[in-house]
Structure 1
Amino acid sequence: MKPQPSHLETSLPAEVMQTLSEGTYIQLVLSKPIEKRTSAWKKVMVRPVILKDTLHFQIALSKGQQEVHENLLPAEAVQRIVELWADHFREGYLYTQVADSHFQKTKQGTVRLKTHAPTKAKPLQAESHNRSKQYLIPEGTPCAFLEAIGVMSEAGKVKSAQYRKFRQINRYLEFINDIVPGLPKTGELQIVDFGCGKSYLTFATHYFFTEVLQREVQITGLDLKRTVVEHCQSIADQLQCRGLSFQTGDISQFDVSLQKCDLSISLHACDTATDAALASAIQSEASVIMAVPCCQHEIFQQITSKPLEGLLQHGILKEKTAALVTDALRSLALEICGYRAQVIEFIDTEHTPKNLLIKAVKRQSELSVRDLHELVGQYESLKGQFGIESFYLERALGARFRELCESSR
């Protein structure tokens, strides 16, 4: 008979239990299953939802391509979470408005708990399964910048041909809302949008911080195309967007010493332009970095791997592999430079093709020598596995990055 785990091994930390009982958390994740069987649950995610005007917690259990949902009342959800933790998982993450908590079962039969600064903002309300979606920019309410860029009518009605863009803007603002806890709590926020293009998301960022959060901002939209910059500036002037300006310039030539940056945004900056934006943000010690890369070619030219020849001989598969390797290296470089990085899907696939968002929040304390050594090892191992000598971000970060890598050896 399989021995039952001890009480210490199965108990959730008291702080976690209290938060679960109060129902004040944003999200809970359980991972690292105890059992290795393919039939075992691999991951659990819990979040608040509204069903028939009543608060429930949706428990999503995943294994392989299968996902099962259980919608439970608060007390039932707590009991179910306790059972799942005791019997199935070794590690958990609890996200609240005030802190992120990481708890883990140890070999000594205890549960170790670590808390960090929060990385998720409190949702405006639990997601409802019974009502139309509540957007940060509500439908039916006039919004000047959405009218100016042709998404809304003067009366606040979303134009049918622009509904996809309206949803994309609101989905983007949900991500911005998530990173607010990582930004300075007071004072004027300095934001740079590298490669802003037509800038509808730049205007959305300005609206969110000034209208929704009532913050003072200085937002700079940077793009190579003078005509686009002039058009965006004319809209900003027309709408009297205080603290929003646009400049013509090359991302790689942006002088970070002349401008502080709290939030760096680069959405679909092509190829190495994403790396130039990341390097500028890191060098300016931005509090939060958000990047959605696209058309990555640099590593495609270098990538090679004897064990993966069967994969890399197909051009389209090699292209996708090179893109994933590029973003993995970018994320590791951010971690080495003192950020907590995540790679997540940017936009709901129902409305637009998949994009990956690299989200990085500056750590409050320096990495330990051990953690830095592990990250540098992963970074160099990944480069070695795919025959990569160097890439743009590494070169752009220069001596500082090399010193960090060398100091871990």
Structure 2
Amino acid sequence: MKNPDPSRSELALPDVIMKALEGGDCIQLLLCKPIDKQVSAFRKVTVRPLVIKGKPHYQFALLRGRQEVHENLLREESVLRIIELWTAHFREGYLFTQHADYHFRKTKQGTISMKKHAPTKALEKESETHNRKKQYLIPEGVPCAFLEAIGVMTDSGKVKSAQYHKFRQINRYMEFINDIVPSLSGSGELNIVDFGCGKSYLTFATYYLFTEILKRRVNITGLDLKQSVVTHCQKIADDLQYDGLNFETGDISRFQSGSRKCDLSISLHACDTATDAAIAAAVCADTDVIMAVPCCQHEIFQQISSLSQSGLLKHGILKEKTASLVTDALRALMLEICGYRTQVIEFIETEHTPKNLLIRAVKRQPRLPMREVRELIRQFQSLKDQYGIDTFYLEQALGEHIQKISQMPGHVMTGIDG
């Protein structure tokens, strides 16, 4: 005797739901109200359509406890998976189509109750989606466990209005990291450090990108001076069951990578010379890719002076902006001298934060020719001289590293402080 078809049982999905899924009319499907209340059970499943290599798929976001996993299945496979999840795990569901919304649930009498409502979501054509709506690595409307845990998103996938700038910032940063993935090791576990991680929005986003989207194994360390922040972030990581994500209390300037090579370092808005300490620690750890979003800069502001630029520097706000630009230019040049290909690019629109520059440095293979290194040194020293800068933290922090470079054949570090 054949096993009964679950799609035909009395608690199966209503025909209108099945037809919408099979015909591609589904804009979003939500399964909720779990039958099993245990922590290990599925809490919620959100399904949305997408196209992969020209073929229609559905993407599943499955929330178990506070851990979320994604599955991308062909449309036919998706329907069977939805039937399985609905039959075994959930009591209630919502379907959104361009023609109507449907709310369906299992009743105590062993039947299915369904209500039909006016549509609340529009089905966008692919071209319209590209033109009108930003395609984020973490899409809107799809629940994401770590964004919910850090207060950016609700459990239904809605981005909180007060946190929308943070949502955009996280996605923007993930795009920058995604761009440099080809510069990282193509296999094995990646070692990543977030210097001055703070509330760790980007630490969690980095973990999510590599493990959930790119399917890579990682060992990520979030480093911060505040024990309370470290304890809070570690609890979130443990609740999400994010293996390979750990937080430690420590001073950036005293960081030691040990025997492990660092593949990627990130730092977001580390104040003043803490950004330089993070860059220096990353260079000394032989990091392949360094990404830093600087914050306030007081070191250069206190020194900067120039007779030729006196008309500019006599205005406090302009002097502050000039000091910031000069500081980041010196950082970029120092990274170039140390063997990195460096870019200074806009991080996020200035309407959200005035500290909107990202320094992205990728280790060169092979190193620059010696004559080009000498030219970079000349530019570095010339910029210091032009603005009357005597001391620069990053230059001093990398003193020993620079000496090693100077001992390489043909590398003469004239003009660089040891």
The two structures have a TM-score, normalised by structure 1, of 0.67
- Deviation track 1:93-128 (CA, whole Å, cap 9, x = no partner) reads xxxxxxxxxxxxxxxxxxxxxxxxxxxxxxxx9996
Letter in 1 for 2:281: S
The answer to whether the 8 Å contact 1:342/1:358 transfers is yes
Q: Report how far residue 403 of structure 1 moved.
A: 5.3
Structure 1: how far apart are the matches of 2:163 and 2:324? Answer: 30
- Quickly say closer, same or farther: Cα 1:208–1:255, change in 2 above 3 A: same
Q: Which amino acid aligns with 1:317?
A: L
* 1:344-374 deviation digits (Å, cap 9, x = unpaired): 1111335444511000000010211111111
Residue 159 of structure 1 is matched in structure 2 by 160
Q: Which residue of 1 aligns with 2:199?
A: 198
Q: Identify which range, 146-155 or 244-253, moves more after superposition.
A: 146-155
Whole-Å Cα distance in 2 between the matches of residues 192 and 168 of structure 1? 19
Q: 1:222 to 1:182 in 2, by over 3 A?
A: same
Give secondary structure in 1 for the equivalent of 2:294. Answer: strand
SS in 2 for 1:270: coil
Report deviation, 1:398: 1.3
Distance 1:403 1:280 in 2: 15
In structure 2, what is the Cα distance between the partners aligned to 1:352 and 1:408?
A: 37
Report the Cα offset of residue 214 of structure 1. Answer: 0.2
CA contact (8 A) 1:196 1:267 kept: yes
Name the structure 1 match of 2:376.
Answer: 375
**Alpha-carbon distance in structure 1 between the residues aligned to 2:139 and 2:376:** 42
* Cα distance in 1, alignment partners of residues 352 and 380 from structure 2: 34
Alignment of 1:331-342 (within 5 A): 331-342=332-343
2: CA distance between counterparts of 1:218 and 1:173? 17
Deviations along 1:242-268, whole A, 9 cap, x unmatched? Answer: 110000111111113354211010110
**Matches of 2:205 and 2:182 in 1, distance apart?**
19
SS at match of 2:302: helix
Query: Using the alignment, how far apart are the partners of 1:149 and 1:142 within structure 2?
Result: 13
- Closer/same/farther in 2, CA of residues 249 and 258 from structure 1, 3 Å limit: farther
Shift of 1:161: 2.4
Deviation at 1:323, TM superposition (A): 0.9
Q: Does residue 392 of structure 2 align to residue 407 of structure 1?
A: no
Q: 1:351 to 1:326 in 2, by over 3 A?
A: closer
For the residues of structure 2 that align with 1:354 and 1:337, how far apart are their CA atoms? 25
Aligned to 2:25: none
Measured in 2, the distance between the counterparts of 1:234 and 1:403 equals 41
Q: Partner of 2:360: helix, strand, or coil? A: strand
> Counterpart amino acid of 2:181?
V
Secondary structure in structure 2 of the residue aligned to 1:221: strand
Aligned equivalent of 1:267 = 268
Answering whether residue 292 of structure 2 is matched by residue 291 of structure 1, we say yes
Aligned to 2:312: 311
> Which residue identity lines up with residue 285 of structure 1 in the other structure?
D
Aligned to 1:361: 362
Q: Deviations over 1:19-67 (max 9, x none)?
A: xxxxxxxxxxxxxxxxxxxxxxxxxxxxxxxxxxxxxxxxxxxxxxxxx
Q: Which residue of structure 2 lines up, in the alignment, with residue 212 of structure 1?
A: 213
Q: 1:22 matched to which residue of 2?
A: none
In 2, are the aligned partners of 1:348 and 1:354 still within 8 Å (CA)?
Answer: no
Alignment-mate amino acid for residue 312 of structure 1: L
Matched-pair contact (CA < 8 Å) for 1:345–1:354: no
* Correspondence 1:282 to 2:283: yes
Q: Is the 8 A contact 2:349 2:356 kept in 1?
A: no
Residues 2-21 of structure 1 aligned to structure 2 (within 5 Å): none
Shift of 1:150: 1.4
Matches within 5 A, 1:227-242: 227-242=228-243
**Post-superposition offset of 1:129:** 4.8
1:132 CA displacement: 1.7
The one-letter code matched in structure 2 to 1:297 is H
Q: Check conservation: 2:183, 2:289, Cα contact below 8 A.
A: yes
3-state DSSP class of the match of 1:256? coil
Q: Where does residue 132 of structure 1 map in the other structure?
A: 133
Which protein is bigger by CA-based radius of gyration? 2
Which blocks of at least 5 consecutive residues in structure 1 are unaligned? Answer: 1-124
> 2:277 is aligned with what amino acid?
A
Q: CA deviation at 1:131?
A: 3.9
- The offset of 1:330, in angstroms, is 0.5
Cα pair 1:369 1:408 within 8 Å, conserved: no
Q: The residue matched to 1:289 in structure 2 has which SS?
A: strand
**Structure 1 position 201, deviation (Å):** 1.1
* Amino acid aligned to 2:248: Q
Q: Quick one: which amino acid aligns to residue 191 of structure 1? A: I
Alpha-carbon distance in 2 for matches of 1:348, 1:333? 26
Describe the superposition over 1:50-91 as per-residue Cα deviations: whole angstroms up to 9, x where unpaired.
Answer: xxxxxxxxxxxxxxxxxxxxxxxxxxxxxxxxxxxxxxxxxx
Q: Distance in 1 between matches of 2:251 and 2:238?
A: 23
Question: Residues 195 and 265 of structure 2 are in contact (CA less than 8 Å); yes or no, is this contact kept in structure 1?
Answer: yes
Query: What secondary structure sits across from 2:246 in the alignment?
Result: strand
1-structure distance, mates of 2:216, 2:310: 52
Partners of 2:382 and 2:244 in 1: CA distance: 44
SS class of match (1:341) = strand
RMSD across aligned C-alpha pairs, in angstroms? 2.0
Alpha-carbon shift at residue 408 of structure 1 (Å): 5.1
The whole-number CA distance in structure 2 between the counterparts of 1:269 and 1:359 is: 15
Alpha carbons of structure 1 residues 317 and 349: separation in structure 2 relative to 1, 3 Å? closer
Kept after mapping to 2: 8 A contact 1:274/1:291: yes
- Alpha-carbon distance between aligned partners in 1 of 2:214 and 2:350, rounded to the nearest angstrom: 28
Q: Distance in 2 between matches of 1:163 and 1:279?
A: 33
Alignment deviations for residues 255-289 of structure 1 (CA, whole Å, 9 cap, x no partner):
13354211010110000100100000000110000
Q: 1:315 to 1:235 in 2, by over 3 A?
A: same
1:397 aligned onto 2:398: yes
Q: Is contact 1:224–1:249 with CA below 8 Å preserved after alignment?
A: yes
5+ unaligned residues in a row in structure 2: which ranges? 1-125
Q: Taking structure 1 as reference, are residues 404 and 191 closer, same or farther at Cα in structure 2, changes over 3 Å only? A: same
CA contact (8 A) 2:295 2:355 kept: no
SS in 2 for 1:304: coil
CA distance in 1, matches of 2:127, 2:279: 33
Q: CA separation in 2, counterparts of 1:354 and 1:242?
A: 32
Checking the alignment, whether the CA contact within 8 Å between 1:142 and 1:153 is kept in structure 2 is yes
Q: Is the 8 A contact 1:276 1:393 kept in 2?
A: yes
